[in-house]
Structure 1
Amino acid sequence: MKKVLAEFRRFSRRFSAAQQARRIAKDIHRLRQSAGPDAPLKVAVRVTGGIGDHIVAARFLRDLIAAVGPLALDIYSPKREIAAWIFRSLDAPVACFHERILWDRLRPSYAVAFYVTQFAVVYTETVDWMYLSERAPKLRDVAVRLEEFRPSIEACIQHHPRLDGHLGRIASFMGYGRRNFLQGMANIPYGGDALPIETDPGALEKFGLAGRAYVTIHNGFDAEFDKAAPTSTKVYARFDDVVARLKRLYPDLLVVQVGTVTSKAIASADLNLIGATTIRELAAIIQHAHLNIDNESGIVHLASCFDVRSCVVFGPTSVDYYAYPQNINLRPPVCGDCWWVNENWMNRCAKGHEQAPCMSLRSPDSVVAALSEELAAWHEAEAGHETFDELPVQDRGRGAGYGFPPGREIVDGAVRVLMGLGPVWLTFGQLIA
């Protein structure tokens, strides 16, 4: 009986999807027939991957619109809600659909359809080249350039994602990174990292962060890669030690941990928000952070949208390809850049080590040293305008959550003098760690 019910549900979903596809196809056909010369051309875009991949794709489409003129975008993604949230930041009419259910049925209905992932390609077998030439000649030219670029990475396209590591090396050799390779393929200008992604304005108040200075830290990975894996070679396992050392140097440093189900609690962090935020709340918290400490992850891409700097501990993924130039990018002490040398690279060390040495040999002290200059300058600036006496009266007894005990104002000046010693204080902190 259960098998019968399951089969009935599958049939119902397929029937519903077929009906929806027919309605959408009719609307697309009607629009192509009746749209005036100034109406934006409707384009189909398939996007796959995690939050970071969707952000990179959104920047590409933003720059595509800037280069060719107005477009109406139908986005097909396996993460429809994430896609709707990110692509709403574009200055264009956007509709989002479920990729697995509708893409193959509807792709032929459009005058042009793109696949945007680590690369951007055109589905040439369904392109209406004459229609593009008449309605959107600049878009036709971009489509032609993408098709001309394709032979140089054809093997990577055919074997995606298994040759993504090779693709990253090709892009790096050409002078591009993950952030702007798509624009390089299309030969259009890169419009920068900033992206006006929607955030929840009440998030800081909800979690007690309004008006307070803090840094975020994240140690998770994309659960969609392998849901059965408890951890990943991309994850730096010693962030707890890093935070503990930073707290010795900067006792009033407020550290907020963010993440979802793949993150593990960092005991030395002040506030644990793993699984406690919506995606818009997370974005608001990242947006107002002074700094984000992380592995290579989608949150690093998100932080870059708000001009928030990240300190990124790299392991198997390529620094040259994935690094944002404004970030503190820590190259692995050994090995590294082994992503996609085999299908298990993200779960097990490609060389067979129990722990990936690219991460396990990275000392917490080296991460602290990389952060020292940034945090020392920030701490000095913060101390210059927010003394204990300037805190709200209701926060003085508990130090506004910064770890200040009552009466801290007595020694606060002395602590700031010690903070000014910089390298000497860092060395002492490392000795007593």
Structure 2
Amino acid sequence: MGENSYKYLFPYERVPVHSRIIIYGAGTLGQDYLRQMQMTGYCEVIAMADRNHSQYPPMIVPVIPPERIHELSFDYVVVALRMAAAFSEVERVLKRELVDEDRIICIFERQEIKAPIFREQLLDRNDDKRGLAFSRLPLSIAVLATGGYGDMVIQKRFIMELLRLAPGCAIDFYNIKAIDFLKHLYIDCPNVNRIIPDLGSRYSENHKEYALALTIEACHFIKVDKWDKKAFTTGSEGPYQEFAESIDKLMTAAEAEEADISTPAHLTMTRRLYQGLDAYSGFNYNGAFQIRDKEVPIPLDTGWEPAFLSLGLQRYVTVNFGNGDCADGSKVAKSWDKSRFEQLVSSLHERYPDVAIVQIGAESSERLTGADKYILGTDFRLSVYILKGSLLHVDIEGGLVHIATQLGTKCAVLFGPTVKEYYGYEQNINIQAGACHGCWGLYPDVNRCARGMEEPECMRSITPEMVMEHIESYMDAVLRQ
């Protein structure tokens, strides 16, 4: 694509000028659309809608939950999606909110649209670049990190490998939602210069200033967006010849893989599984890097130790119910039924009456009947202490499992749609049942059962009795100590 081309231009050809619009999706692309409307005055943006509305900082327009769309007076809803995979879910949500199909506007990646005015103007001229890595050191790296907390834990292992090869570099992270988490995750890493809230197109405009710029798309693929090999192989800061060779190999392997945002996650995952790789070693890219373990340090913020001690927790097991919802509000396919979680809590109480059951997780999680303490929506720095002190963490595969495992806490993990061989840890109690599992990312609705089952067979096949059977020997041994 040419220097003056624009992949995600606002759909001007489908929206009449001066229309009142709602932008669905408050992420990087949605805010890119908003910025274009600010610059041109083409449409009036009255709101942005996003199911994770509470996670975004204040913006110049309100960010509302999708269920409030019907309360507003508007002409069109412009859907900000980079890939078609998620559109069917969004469409269901909008139709539920009584938005007519002809008022839903969505255009995915364009083949090539010329728009030099936006290329020149997208950068906020008031942005202060003086503190960014490229203004401080010639060996500067920009990383656009996407995915959930678990993905970012795994990504840190890749970043550790980069730093092993180029210990004199400085890294800036760009991210839309997990700013505070990333700041904590890398507080032990002096090479990390900034964690930058990407509230528009800051990475798109800034990445060319760095010696190396990478997009890490969850645990699925890496894209090299800028590479100045000379910066790492010449001058007083280098040479880092091995690092340069590794980036060259990464570029070759990534180009051969031909993965982008539209590539089904299941495809890249299956390729790695055939190569004997997992979510961690998958970042090796045909020998470009040498990631041979799954060890990632999770820092403890000692300032939160008094808050943890004040909880008065002694011997306890943590459980997490839920892993978010689909765009239309339904549960993700890997969820385990609430009644089964509650039956498990009851069984744990019966067998281990002196062990408290602590429910941990998001503020929006439904409370499990029978839990002794509910610590929901708390600061993750306190959650880290709670997970570290737990005898056992029970959960479906997700971010808390990856964090707890890295803290040395054994987890009982219920695997259904997500692939155990890819995301699992050998030291955990990995529970899988039935003949049907591992379909996550196979179809466009990545969070839904590939067979369309409301309660997927893979999760329904896991019973509370089965979980108890798997964890009893471990719990008995721990409590004898």
- Place the TM-score, normalised by the shorter chain, in its bin: 0.7 to 0.9
AA at the equivalent of 2:161: D
**Is residue 326 from structure 1 mapped to residue 424 from structure 2 by the alignment?**
no
The alignment status of 1:24 with 2:129, answered yes or no, reads yes
Supply the AA of the counterpart residue of 2:298.
P
Question: Which one has the bigger helix percentage?
Answer: 1
Q: Cα distance, 1:17 vs. partner?
A: 5.8
Confirm or deny: 8 A CA contact 2:156 2:296 kept in the other structure.
no
Which of the residues 185, 188, 191 maps onto 1:92?
191
Q: Distance in 1 between matches of 2:147 and 2:209?
A: 24
1:157, distance to aligned residue in structure 2 (A):
2.9
- For residue 190 of structure 1, report the CA deviation from its aligned partner: 3.6
What runs of 5+ residues in structure 2 fail to find an aligned partner?
1-17, 24-33, 40-58, 61-117
Which is further off, 293-302 or 348-357?
A: 348-357
1:204 aligns with 2:300: no
Letter in 2 for 1:108: K
Letter in 2 for 1:300: V
2:243 corresponds, among 118, 136, 139, to 139
| Whole-Å separation in 2 of the counterparts to 1:291 and 1:29 | 44
Residues 157-211 of structure 1: CA distance to partner in whole angstroms, max 9, x if unpaired? 3524xx11122222222222113321455322345424132342123223222xx
| Whole-Å separation in 1 of the counterparts to 2:324 and 2:246 | 32
Q: Does 1:296 align with 2:386?
A: no
Q: CA distance change for structure 1 residues 343 and 245 in 2, over 3 Å: closer, same or farther?
A: same
Secondary structure of the 2:361 match is: coil
Which residue of structure 1 aligns with residue 351 of structure 2? 249
Structure 2 counterparts to residues 29-428 of structure 1, below 5 A? 30-31=135-136, 41-79=139-177, 80-101=179-200, 102-117=202-217, 118-123=219-224, 126-134=226-234, 135=238, 136-154=240-258, 156-157=259-260, 159-160=262-263, 163-183=264-284, 186-190=288-292, 192-199=294-301, 200-209=304-313, 212-222=314-324, 226-237=326-337, 238-275=340-377, 277-346=378-447, 348-381=448-481
d(CA) in 1 for partners of 2:454, 2:149 = 29
Q: Deviations over 1:237-268 (max 9, x none)?
A: 11111121122111112111101145221112
Structure 1 letter corresponding to 2:262: H
Distance in 2, matches of 1:306 and 1:27, equals 31
CA gap of 1:196–1:344, structure 2 versus 1, over 3 A, is: closer
Alignment partners' CA distance in 2, 1:197 and 1:72: 20
Say whether the 8 Å CA contact 1:241–1:364 is kept in structure 2. yes
Structure number with the higher strand fraction is 2
Distance 1:367 1:25, change over 3 A: same
- Amino acid in the other structure paired with 1:271: K
Q: Give the CA RMSD over aligned residues.
A: 2.9
**What SS class does the counterpart of residue 258 from structure 1 fall into?**
strand
- Which residue type is aligned with residue 203 of structure 1? A
Identity %, equivalent residues: 22
Q: 1:333 to 1:262 in 2, by over 3 A?
A: farther
Using the alignment, how far apart are the partners of 1:266 and 1:272 within structure 2?
9
Structure 1 unaligned regions, length at least 5: 36-40, 382-433
Matched letter for residue 148 of structure 1 = T
C-alpha change, 1:242 and 1:292, in structure 2 (3 Å) is same
Q: SS of the counterpart of 1:337?
A: coil
Task: Please tell me whether the aligned partners of residues 322 and 336 of structure 2 are also in contact (alpha carbons under 8 angstroms).
Answer: no
Query: Helix, strand or coil: the match of 1:202?
Result: helix
Structure 1 Cα separation of the partners of residues 396 and 134 of structure 2: 46
Could you tell me which residue of structure 1 aligns to residue 104 of structure 2? none
- Rounded to whole Å, the distance in 1 between the matches of 2:315 and 2:285 is 37
Aligned partners of 1:176 and 1:184 also within 8 Å? no
Equivalent residues of 1:107, 1:113 under 8 A apart: yes
CA spacing shift, 1:338–1:182, aligned 2, 3 Å: same
Q: 1:368 to 1:278 in 2, by over 3 A?
A: same
TM, length-normalised to structure 2: 0.69
- How far apart are residue 343 of structure 1 and its match? 2.4
Aligned partners of 2:420 and 2:357: how far apart in 1? Answer: 25
User: For 1:280-332, what per-residue CA distance to the aligned partner results, in whole angstroms no more than 9, with x for missing partners?
Assistant: 11111011112110001100111122111111001111111110111111123
Question: For residue 362 of structure 2, what is the amino acid of its counterpart?
Answer: T
Asked if structure 2 preserves the Cα contact closer than 8 Å seen for 1:45 and 1:114, the reply is: yes
| Paired residues of 1:64 and 1:188 also in contact (CA < 8 A) | no
The CA deviation string for residues 367-422 of structure 1, in whole angstroms up to 9 with x for no partner, is 100001101111222xxxxxxxxxxxxxxxxxxxxxxxxxxxxxxxxxxxxxxxxx
Check whether the contact 1:215–1:289 (CA below 8 A) recurs between aligned residues: yes
Once residues 290 and 166 of structure 2 are traced to their aligned partners in structure 1, the CA distance between those partners, rounded to angstroms, is 9
CA distance in 2, matches of 1:360, 1:27: 49
Give per-residue Cα distances to partners, 1:98-142, cap 9 Å, x unaligned.
Answer: 235211010111111111232453435x32222232133232112
For 1:27 and 1:349, how far apart are their aligned partners in 2?
43
- The answer to whether the Cα contact below 8 Å between 1:197 and 1:305 also exists between their aligned partners in 2 is no
The answer to whether the 8 Å contact 2:343/2:464 transfers is: yes
- Cα separation, 1, equivalents of 2:223 and 2:245: 12
After TM superposition, the score normalised by the length of structure 1 is: 0.76
Per-residue CA distance 1:309-360 (angstroms, 9 max, x = gap): 11100111111111011111112323111112222242x4321223211111
